[in-house]
Structure 1
Amino acid sequence: MAARTGREFLAGLSKPRELWVGDDKVTDIASHPAFASAAETLAQIFDLQHQSRAVCLMPDPETGEPISVSHMIPRSIANLERRHACLQTIAEFTVGLMGRTPDYMNVTFAGFAGRADEWAVNGNERGAANLVAYQKFLARKDLALTHTIVHPTIDKAKGDVPEPGNDVALHKVADTAHGIVVRGARILATLAPFADEIAVYPAVPLLAGTDAYALSFCVPMDTPGLKFICRDSCATAPNRFDHPLSSRFDEQDAFVIFDDVEVPRDRVFINANLVAYNSVMATGWYPNIMQQTMIRAQTKLEFAYGLASRMAEAINDVSPATRQMLGEIWTYAEFARAAIHSAEVEAFEYGNGVWFPNGGPLAALRAALPSWFPRVGEIITLIGSHNLLAAPTEAQLNDPKLRPLIARYLRGAGTMNAEERVRIFRLAWDFVGSALASRNELYERFYLASGARNYQLAHALAPKDRSRRLVDELLGLKARDGHGQIEFEKKVMGLPQSPEEFPRK
């Protein structure tokens, strides 16, 4: 089977899974009120790849069947440019509000398979071969894949990774004739209700002596022992006038429990191999996946700029303060565009014939976004003011007695009628004031770790030679070897001791 249609995607959701939301143990994802609208949106994304097939589809390198361009293993700048066009098409469909559309994991596993040589370290050749085979399976079945990579927080004082003996974090408990048995929990599986399978792979490097926690694998969502506890739903009634965003884009998030789950041996990519676990994410993962994540972020920033501009036009707000705030949002969007462009045109081969963007510009952008997005929400709130709370519903507008009054008293500036003004401010409320808006702000604050941690990471890995040289030359000092300080900073961050800086050409 090649690239799926929306109908085929929805049919795949009929497989049973142990998943709870609110008071319900859900038996039918596609029809449940908490999930139906987002399921339909994702189905439309699967259809989109056929509607925009020249941009979104490519022939499988081995079978010739059409697969999503997001599965491409990039081997040139031209490949990255083609992938950019596909990823942007998908991001625009959700105006950047859905951070875990299936292309996210498609890009992730294409990068993993492209650098399978990194996964084969320390005797992990079989795991690397399993990963390559799985990536082909993922592309050819066109699955929706979710992932869970973070260990649950029980005692923050003990750090972000498990110590030996931790009974909460996901760990291996046994070998079987067919694979391994794993037990424990992880967070957070965004897109869980809509996924066909779930992936586990490394995040923060683990401590010595915690080999049992060094795992990577993929299993179907209906695997016995898998349990998903979803957060409260942010989905609203399917009325796009009243709820233009929350009626479509609640991708959901779930806490995942592995209650003695057996993972087939050919689905295991890292099997209690601490060296492999702590090294495979250190070089090419982030510049590869951040092409997708930053294109989504840029799209969301440009949408926010357009929304804020339309709000100002609706009430003819041309004050210096508002113009300054509009310029601020545009600046964020333009910085995002420039960082992505710089990273793509400075792409280079990372090894094994695989090309990824230059990581530096994307890492800088990644660190800034957790403060930019809340600020964008604040700006839209300030521009909207009380108008965000004075936007009638579609039913109120359609009331024959109310409509002429609304048309008179809630019209926009100039020639803008009341309905257009109402739709703009209802959209703004859904972007900054609804339950979905609150979830999305939290999501952006901690997307791929917090801004604070990403700034620390940027400092620890940033190339320092030129900066140090400029200071030393001005002061007339002998150049100093900063290797010891760099290693100390990396140790504090819990980073592996190589590479020493962002990969760059």
Structure 2
Amino acid sequence: MAARTGKDYLSGLRDDRQVWLGDRTVSVLDEPAFQGSLRGMAGYFDWQHQFADECLVDDPEKPGEKMSASLIVPRSKEDLTRRHVGLERLARYSNGLLGRTPDYVNVVLSGHVARKDIWDRGTDPVYHERLTRFHREVVEGDLSMTHTIIHANIDKGSGDLAGMNADLTLRVVKRTENGVIVRGGKVLGTLAPFADELYVYPSAPVPSGAEQYALCFSVPMNTKGVITLCRDHFGTPADVADAPFSSRFDEQDAFIIFDDVEVPYERLFVDGDLNVYNNISQGVSPGNTIQQTAIRAMVKLEFAYDLCTQIARVTNSDNRPDVAAMLGEIHTYMSLTRSAIVAAEAEAHHWGTSGAFFCNGSIASLRCVMPGWMTRVNQIIKALGSHNLLATPSLAAFDNPTIGPMLEKYLPGANGMEARDRARLMRMAWDFAGSALGSRLELYEMFYLGSAARGLQTDHMVAQRNGFGGQVKAFMQEAGIIGRDA
């Protein structure tokens, strides 16, 4: 099976996975709180068939079969261009409100497969061979993957793998004839209860002596000992017109506990080899993964700009200088994001020696500014909507013969907009920026690709390592401030 439908996807979730919601274990498919999210994720898989010409490509290994464009292993500019088309269409399903749709981890995995040269730094080629076979499994099953890549560093006064953190985060504790036994916690398993597979891969280097933490593997979500601890679910059973996002798009976040989980050797892709583990993230994420995240962000900013423009029009404030400046601010963020994508794709090149073809790594700078931009967008929505966001009735109220006519009279929009249409718009704005899900989305964007401060530090260190600089010295020499030999 490849390129699943929503029905196919849902049928794959019927298993004995251990998912906790509050103080109880739940059956994902039967849990009332999850029903809207399940419909939303099933809709994502149907969407790829609705727009098959953009979202699906020919499977290079199985003539006549289709696979997700997000699973292309990029080897050329044409591959990146084709993948961009698919990723953009997939992002438009939720207008970027779903941050971890399956295409995200698909792109990560495909980038890992492309960088065979990184695995070649290790001692055994079997690990990359396993990874390539797993990629085929994902292609043929059109699997939905979540990921957990952040150490469970509870005590931030110690190092990630020091003090109490050393005992809490995921590590190898035993080896068997069939695989390794792992124990500990990992975050952040977004989409975890609705995923088929849990892919654990490197996000930051680990020091020598911490090889037991240097792991890359994947296991099915129903693997014995994998425990999914969900936060409160922010989905709501409201009609889609009242809650267009939280009625369908709470993708759920989770803390994952590995309670002595056996990872079969066939699913183990890095096993303590620091030459491989410590180079994967910087060798794949900047030019490969960020293409997907930047496209999603661009789509979300486009939607936010249009939403805020509509809010300004319904309040007849779009020509006010302060309002126009805020609208222009969002448009600037949107334009800069699009420009960064265009430039990075135009300057794409081969990475390493195994044929991987990724975007120019400069696109990764977006991870440092995007958190601030997305937070600012929410501030603008609240500023433009103001009290209107707090005084908008449900759509069902308009059908009530007693209160409906009063709502039509007292709550219309400016410029001739009917009250019901105004309510639809304001409720959408609230769900975007102010609801429980909206607040979660804002926090999520703040740490979407890790700490912005850490990203800035990394950008500086990489620039210095790559030899950037010399302009000041050159100017001083040209001006005669210092000698040519200085």
TM-score, normalised via structure 2 length: 0.95
- In structure 2, do the counterparts of structure 1 residues 369 and 243 end up closer, same or farther at CA, with 3 Å as the change threshold? same
Aligned equivalents of 2:161 and 2:104: distance in 1?
24
User: Does residue 1:81 correspond to 2:81, yes or no?
Assistant: yes
| 1:45-69 Cα deviation digits (max 9, x unpaired) | 1112222111111121111221111
CA contact (8 A) 1:149 1:188 kept: yes
- Residue 160 of structure 2 contacts residue 166 of structure 2 at CA under 8 Å; is this kept in 1? no
Q: Does 1:211 align with 2:211?
A: yes
- The residue type equivalent to 2:418 in the other structure is N
What is the one-letter code of the residue matched to 2:338? R
Residue 409 (structure 1) aligns with: 410
Contact persistence 1:120–1:127 (CA under 8 A): no
Q: How does 1:44-63 map to 2 (within 5 A)?
A: 44-63=43-62
The Cα of 1:5 is off from its aligned counterpart by 1.1
Structure 1: which amino acid aligns with 2:43? Q
Correspondence for 1:358: 360
| Alpha-carbon distance between aligned partners in 2 of 1:465 and 1:57, rounded to the nearest angstrom | 38
Is the alpha carbon distance of 1:5 and 1:399 closer, same or farther for their aligned partners in structure 2, counting shifts above 3 Å? Answer: same
- SS in structure 1 of the partner of residue 262 of structure 2: strand
Partner in structure 1 of residue 455 of structure 2: 454
Q: Which residue of structure 2 lines up, in the alignment, with residue 93 of structure 1?
A: 93
In structure 2, distance between residues paired with 1:450 and 1:369: 11
Pairwise CA distance, 1:165: 8.8
Match of 2:329? Answer: 328
CA distance in 2, matches of 1:479, 1:198: 58
Residue equivalent to 1:383: 384
Segment drifting more, 163-172 vs 111-120: 163-172
CA 1:156–1:284: 2 relative to 1, 3 Å: same
Correspondence 1:371 to 2:372: yes
Q: Secondary structure at the match of 1:129?
A: helix
Segments of structure 2 that go 5 or more residues without pairing to the other structure are none
User: How far did 1:463 drift?
Assistant: 6.0
What is the one-letter code of the residue matched to 1:332?
A: Y
Q: How far apart in 2 are the matches of 1:478 and 1:129?
A: 56
Cα deviation per residue 1:445-477 (whole Å; 9 max; x = unaligned)?
A: 011112211111111112688863321121115
Give the corresponding residue for 1:276.
276
Deviation, structure 1 residue 479: 8.6
Q: Which amino acid aligns with 1:391?
A: T
Match runs of 1:427-466 below 5 Å: 427-462=428-463
Mapped partners of 1:119, 1:297: distance in 2:
31
For residues 8 and 364 of structure 1, the distance between their equivalents in structure 2, rounded to whole angstroms, comes to 38
Which amino acid is 1:331 matched to?
A: T
Number of the residue aligned with 2:167? 167
Distance in 2, Cα, partners of 1:143 & 1:76: 25
* 1:416 Cα offset (Å): 0.6
Following the alignment from structure 2 to structure 1, what is the Cα–Cα distance between the partners of residues 468 and 174? Answer: 51
- Inter-partner Cα distance in structure 2 for 1:400 and 1:150: 54
| Deviation sequence 1:219-238 (CA, Å, 0-9, x none) | 00111111010001110114
Q: 1:296/1:162 Cα in 2 relative to 1: closer, same or farther (>3 Å)?
A: farther
Kept in 2: contact 1:15–1:222 (CA 8 A): yes
- The amino acid that maps onto 1:45 is Y
Q: Alpha-carbon deviations, 1:322-355, whole Å to 9, x = none?
A: 0000000000000000001111111011131121
Give runs of aligned pairs for residues 92-491 of structure 1, distance below 5 A. 92-162=92-162, 166-317=166-317, 318-350=319-351, 351-360=353-362, 362-462=363-463, 468-476=469-477, 477=482
Change (3 A) 1:328 1:409: same
Q: Does 1:4 align with 2:9?
A: no
Shift of 1:126: 1.4
Q: Structure 1 residues 241 and 263, CA, compared in 2 at 3 Å: closer, same or farther?
A: same
Per the normalisation by structure 1, the TM-score is: 0.92
1:200-248 deviations in whole A, cap 9, x for unaligned? 1111111221111111100001111110100011101141121111101
Letter aligned with residue 428 of structure 1 = A
Residue 182 of structure 1: how far off its partner (Å):
0.5
Counting matched residue pairs gives 479
Residue pair 2:389, 2:429 contacting (<8 A) in 1 also: yes
Tell me how far 1:274 sits from its aligned partner: 2.3
Instruction: Write the distance in 2 (CA, Å) between the matches of 1:480 and 1:434.
Output: 63
